[in-house]
Structure 1
Amino acid sequence: MFKPARQPAEERAAIAQAVQRLYLAAAEHAPIAADRGGNFADGSADGRMDCVDHSQNDTTFLQYLAQQGLLQHHRVAAPVWRAPWIIDLHYASQIIEIASETPWVVDSWFFDFGHEPVVVPYQQWKKG
């Protein structure tokens, strides 16, 4: 899925697909398929994850992809956080487009398990 990614936007699309597939593979070994988007829809289900869990998992997946030499247009950065309403703290993974130094966010927390994560510009994500 990364071979046709000749442009940064194509690579970001491949990143979203790869993170999705890595989650599907992980669900074969952990009960994470019970996870629902956000923090409340999954109640007390085994395998539920909050945004911190997602940001750590996504970052680990991204580091794995980078170590495999699959990321040519982006580098993995530390997770980012935002608090638009002071108590509404939210974390997500971050990649940096190498050519432009533009930060992007990879965020799988919003959707039910199995959905591709969003990959959006950091400034857009930061606004909520």
Structure 2
Amino acid sequence: MKKLYSILICTFLTLNCFATDVENMFNVSWNSKYKELQLLEYTGDQSVKNLDIPGNFRFAGKIYRVTDVADMTFSRSSYLESVTLPSTVKKIGYSVFSDCKNLKSVTLPNSLSEIGSELFSGCI
């Protein structure tokens, strides 16, 4: 039993140490009951060309799992060249990457159950 508690404590500390503060990167909507986040708009560093989105973010002192990417989250982000979405994402909204003129690569997780239309509209 002591070993189980040690494992749980280590897991909790690891999650807290490696979770990124979401406020520095995205406007979000959240569900505190299920500890889930929906990414609404990228507000992070616009000099970033390759964006690897973590599956968990720290928000209001708690850890939340990223499950949704809302409509037009990265729309007109012409500086982006590649985006990797985490395996926690289940839904991607309408026109998420529209008008991302320099986008060359997007890695989508197998966990997706819903993808909005016109995902890459105006990218070419």
TM-score w.r.t. the length of structure 1 is 0.27
Larger relative CO (CA 8 A, sep 6+): 1 or 2? Answer: 1
Q: Comparing both structures, which one devotes a greater share of its residues to strand?
A: 2
TM-score w.r.t. the length of structure 2 is 0.28
Q: Comparing both structures, which one devotes a greater share of its residues to helix?
A: 1
